[in-house]
Amino acid sequence: MTGWGLRWAALALGGCLAVTGGAGLGGCDAAEQTPYVAPDQAPLPFRDAEPLRDGLVVFDDAALTTEDAAIRTEAGICQTGDLIGVACAPNGQGIGGAEVVALTTDCFGEPREVRVIADARGRFRLANLAPGPTEVNVRLGSFFARYQAEVTANLARPVNGDNEKLCLAADATRLAVLTGDFDRIQSVLGGLGFEYDLYCGDRTNHRPARQLLADRALLGQYDILFVNCTSGIDLGNTDADVQAAITNLRWFVEQGGSLYVSDLSADFVRRGWPGVVEFIASQSPPSDGEDCCVCADCPPACVVDPPVPARVCEGCCPDDNSLPAECRGFSGTGGQGAGGEVQGTITSDFLARYLSAAQLSVNFNLGAWVQIASVRDDVEVLVADPSGRPLMVLFEPTPGGGRVAYTSFHNHAQATASMRIILEALVFRL
C-alpha cells in the first residue's frame, strides 16, 4: 500500500487502533472477543426454526474465499463492522459453548480469523470484521456448518440478515442409532432437530445392527454412532463376525468417529477398549454364539421367511424380524445398580454451563443398571454420584481421533428435565 499516508481511527465498535504513518500493523488485530450480552438480559427476539432467509447462504463443500473487502475512506480510516447472533441447533434452541469463527481481513486486506465461544445461551459477537461477504463457521463437537453473512461498516448487525439465529442444519452431521430396548437417545436427537438413521439393534431384532458393524464402508459414512441400552449384541462371543465388529468399532473411532453407549450396552466400551472403564456388571463368558444369531451375512437357512412382524412400541425397531426364535433372547451385560434417585455432581464445566447448575437429581426408575467401578486417569468424568463414583464419562482412545462416551443413566421412561438437558449437552461433546 505504498504512497498511502494511512491514518487509522478507532471506531465506536472497537475498530483499528489509531496510529500514524502506516506503522504498528498490530493495531488491526482483533481484540480478545467476549460473548455478546443483551443490555437488558431479556430473551433475544428471534424466530424459531424458520427457513433460511436472504442474507444467509449455506455452503456444502465448496471453499469460500474472502476478498479484500476492507474499506478505507479518502482520509485513510479503516472501517469495520460487527456480527451478533445466536448459535443454535436445527430446532432453534441456543447451544452454549459453540465455537464461531469469521474468516475476514485486516485493514490491509490480509486474511485473518476472528474467533469467539458462544455463551451459555448460544449468543456471540464477532467484532472488527471487514465489510462485505464474510464466511462464518460454527463448530461444536462433531457438528459443523459453514455460512456466508454480510458485514456492514460501522454497524453491528444480526448475522442472518434480520434474524440473529445461526442454526446448524438438520443433516449437519451424519448420525446412526442402534434402537436398543431401554433407551431412546433418538428422541433427544429428534428433539434438537437432527436427522439420524435408525438400525434395529435390540435384544429381539439385531441383525441390521450387526450388518452395520460388519460393513466398514457403511459405518465410516457416519460421524457419530449411538448405541442405546440393551443392543442385543453380545460382544463377548468369540465368533469371527463379532470380533470383526469390535475391530471395526475401534477403527471407526480412530478415524474420528464418536461413540455413545448407555447402560446395559456397556460391553461396547468394555470389549472395545479393555481396561479404560471398569464396570460393576455381570457378563457372559467368552464363547461361540449360535451361527444364525451372530452372523451379518447370513445363509438362507438362518433367515425366517416370512419374517415376524415388528413390535409396536415407542422407539422400537420398525422392521420385521428375520431372526430365528432362538436368537431373540437376552444375553450379555447385566447390572447391579439399585433403583431410586441419586444426587449427581456435574464435574464437567461444559455440562455445568449448559445446565446452569452443578448438581442434578438422577432418576433410576429400574434396578440392575450398570455401575462404573473406576476409570483410567485419562478418562474425563462428566457426572459423579455422592461417593465420587462416575455416572457419565468421556475419553479419546486415540489422540486426534473420535470420542467414546458412556452413561449409566439415559432418557427413556426415567429422564427428568435436567437429565435430558445433560444428555443434549453430551451429544455436543461427541
> What pLDDT digit, counting tens, does each position of 20-34 carry?
233 332 333 444 444
Burial of 343 (0-12, 13-18, 19+ CB in 10 A): exposed
Task: Give yes or no for a contact between 169 and 90, defined as CB atoms under 8 angstroms apart.
Answer: yes
Burial of 174 (0-12, 13-18, 19+ CB in 10 A): middle
Which is more confident, 268 or 328? 268
pLDDT digits (tens, 9 = 90+) for 358-400: 888 888 888 788 999 999 999 999 999 999 999 999 999 999 9
Please spell the DSSP secondary structure of 339-351, one letter per residue. SEEEEEEE--HHH
CA dihedral 166, 168, 169, 170 (to 10 degrees): -130
Which is more confident, 161 or 95? 95
Q: Match 435436567 to its residue by C-alpha cell.
A: 418
Region 336-347: mean pLDDT is 88
Task: Give yes or no for a contact between 346 and 327, defined as CB atoms under 8 angstroms apart.
Answer: no
Report the pLDDT value the prediction gives residue 419, as an integer from 0 to 100. Answer: 86
77: confidence class by pLDDT, cuts 50, 70, 90: low
Q: Where are the beta strands (DSSP E) in 246-295?
A: 258-262, 277-282
Report the pLDDT value the prediction gives residue 12, as an integer from 0 to 100. Answer: 31
Q: Which of 88, 82, 102, 84 is nearest to 52 (CA)?
A: 88
Tell me what percent of the residues of the chain surpass a pLDDT of 70: 81
Q: Which of 204, 255, 205 is nearest to 225 (CA)?
A: 255
> Is the model's pLDDT at 49 over the cut of 60?
no
Task: Name the pairing type of β-strands 340-346 and 380-384.
Answer: antiparallel
Task: Give yes or no for a contact between 223 and 258, defined as CB atoms under 8 angstroms apart.
Answer: yes
333: confidence class by pLDDT, cuts 50, 70, 90: confident
- β-partners of residue 166 are 87
Enter the DSSP assignment of 300.
G
Q: Over the chain, what is the mean pLDDT?
A: 80
Report the pLDDT value the prediction gives residue 76, as an integer from 0 to 100. Answer: 59
Sign for the pseudo-dihedral over CA of 298, 253, 335, 408: negative
Region 111-133: mean pLDDT is 90
> How far is 174 from 161, CA to CA, in rounded Å?
28
Q: In the chain, what are the domains?
A: 25-38+49-167 (2.60.40.10), 175-427 (3.40.50.880)
